[in-house]
A and B are shown apart, each in its own frame.
Chain A
Amino acid sequence: MDFKAILASSAKSFLTRKFQFALAALAFVAVLPIFVRSEYIIGNVFTVMAIFALYASSWNLLAYSGQGSLGHAAFLGIGAFASALLAARLGVPPIIGLFVGSLLSAGIGLFVGLACVRLKAWFLAMVTFGFSIIIVTIIGQFDSIFGGMIGFPTVTFVPEGLPFYYGTLAIVALSILAIFLVMKSKWGLAFKAIRENELEAKMIGINTAKYRLLAFVISTFFAGLAGGLLVESQLFIQLDIFKVDNSFLPLIMAVIGGLGTLEGPIIGAIIIVSIESFMPLAYPYLQPLSPFFPGVSNVGPPLKFVGLGIFLILVVIFLPKGITSLISKLYDYLKEGETRKGDKIEGN
């Protein structure tokens, strides 16, 4: 393994402004509970944001190697069910359950990845999507074990509330750091080469099958971890975790935030979870529109999804590098302004 190279490259990146910014952001989310005292917002918004940031990052890593999955909910659900079953039914410590669940998810991810290793773009998307449907059909057959539509309560790895928020934050931060190190390593370079042009990557001696599998395994590991955390944060697990929306959300987050960047999926998760959490507050104000839409009693949720769909399309067409590119453009602009000002002062 090129551990030394990873270390060297990461040591270099520790000094960058990006890393300082990441530290500042981490400090910010750590002190956030001092200012936001609502337990509901911390538990159901901030914690969920962190978990989805990890989930979207795991999806993003897979896309980083040029493989777009439409069935990541399968791995989210596998990790969730494995960890929840171990903790709630067999009494395994939940923290161990979390990692066993992630490992199981990665193991199954290896098999799916093996099946997909020759497939590209939409074929891969179809197979992963189909896999998520098959998994939910199979698990739906064993209601006595998996709880079926009713589900069963889960056990958290640290007490719920603030400790869970900080525990989740720590796991998510470490995982995203790991994903970052992978992206910056030689592996990440290989992923990128495969994404840009698989044939050329093969020609310069990259074992494309191996690296595509590697991306699959790492990505599904973290998706499983996110799944375990997600059901622990909700104190409950249901078959619902396999829903199609859970496959599409990480994609939407990564694309809106900025595909292939580290911060993109995190920003996307913050945006989408905020919309999901706070949009219901606006529903009463949308109600006057209901005479125009006879199909539904509450116009809020469908309008939200229409908006989300249009937003996604607009971002793909007009902002192919996501919101992140906008922020870095703004940063460049400000920096340019600063230097211009500086020049003037020197001139005087």
Chain B
Amino acid sequence: MITPLITPSGLIQALIWGVATGCIYILLATGLNLIFGVMKLVNFAHGQLLMVGAFVAYQITTTFGLNPYASIIVSMGIVAFIGILLEKFAFRKIRGTEKLNEIFISLGLIYVFQNVAALLWVENYNIRIPSPFSSLSFSFGEVALSYDRILAIVIVIVILVGLVLLTKKTKIGLAMRATSQKSDAAMLMGIDINRVYVFTFAVGAALAGAAGAIYGILFPFNPTIGALPTIKAFAIIILGGLGSIPGAVAGGLLYGIAENTTGYLSNGTWQDAVAFALLIAVLVIRPTGLFGEKGE
């Protein structure tokens, strides 16, 4: 094996790539966090929604020749619809039962999503969404920054601003915040909890869909890519604290950078294991997360 030289400019490159990768994780983590915050539910199949989003964007881009960045919106819509179905026909049925049931349902969903994607698209090789900007990049000395990564960062910022406006300025956002604080009281105040839950799940799924489309533009993917991002998003939530969007942003950036620099320094071998080690260390030392106030 050839060991690439570790250079300062290479390290800077890894840092910037880390920010772009972190952006994908931020979207995923924010969605997961939103669903957890409002519904007190963890969907372990959240990463599979990212995978579905990537395939949907791929299909739209290749079939209709749409710009991949426009396909992000379509992908968000379709994955949000899938999210609505999941909430209505799976997670709502087990609400109020044992917490382990969420894990079981998610596991079933993971099997279904991965294999349906394999049946419909590809089984065991990687594809990538063709981007018109794939050959273009800014360069600062030896550091090259592709247009795609910059666009990804910009899009994530736009989506996050939209999300903050949604939760802070709209009526449904108010209902979501009320439900997240105390669902019983919110129900007594005349809030239709079921509607809030469906809406929340759809928004969370849409974020995963957007993350998936961006993932598909930046990286090659296949039906099994969903599992690791779920856990990484989970790690980010734990790093950033439950239910906090700024926490998720900070955690996501930190995580993306840590992962990319570790991968760069160790030639990719320890990239995932170090991530888990970090997660376990944080959980063991501080089960409520680095910035979290209270956990489960």
Contacts and interface: CB of A to CB of B under 8 A. Distances in A.
A94 to B, nearest CB: 31
A96 B59 CA distance: 56
A308 B112 CA distance: 8
Interface string A278-311: 0000000000000001111101011101101111
Given A122-B42, A123-B296, A255 B104 contact: yes
Interface stretch (B23-31, B113-121, B165-173, B255-263): B113-121
B280 A309 contact: no
B49 to A, nearest CB: 15
Counting contact residues on chain A (CB < 8 A from B), the size range is: 35 or more
Contacts of B116: 302, 306
Contacts of A312: 104-105, 107-108, 111
Contact of B99 (A122, A255, A310): A122
Contacts of B120: 293-295
Interface string A76-92: 00000000000000000
B296 A313 contact: no
Given A122-B42, A309-B112, A313-B90, A127 B97 contact: no
Nearest to B113: A309
Nearest to B43: A122
Interface in B39-65: 42, 44
Dominant SS among interface residues on chain B: helix
Candidate in A66, A317, A320 with the most chain B CB atoms within 10 angstroms: A317
B161 interface: no
A134 B273 contact: yes
A317 B93 contact: yes
Interface residues of B, number: 47
Contact of A126 (B101, B107, B231): B231
Contacts of B78: none
Contact of A313 (B97, B99, B105, B115): B105
Nearest to B227: A244
Given A119-B283, A130-B276, A248-B107, A303 B119 contact: yes
A309 B119 contact: no
B108 A305 contact: no
Contact of B94 (A244, A295, A301, A316): A316
Interface of B: 42, 44, 90, 93-94, 97, 99-105, 107-112, 114-123, 227, 231, 234-235, 238, 269-270, 272-273, 276-277, 279-280, 283-284, 287, 295-296
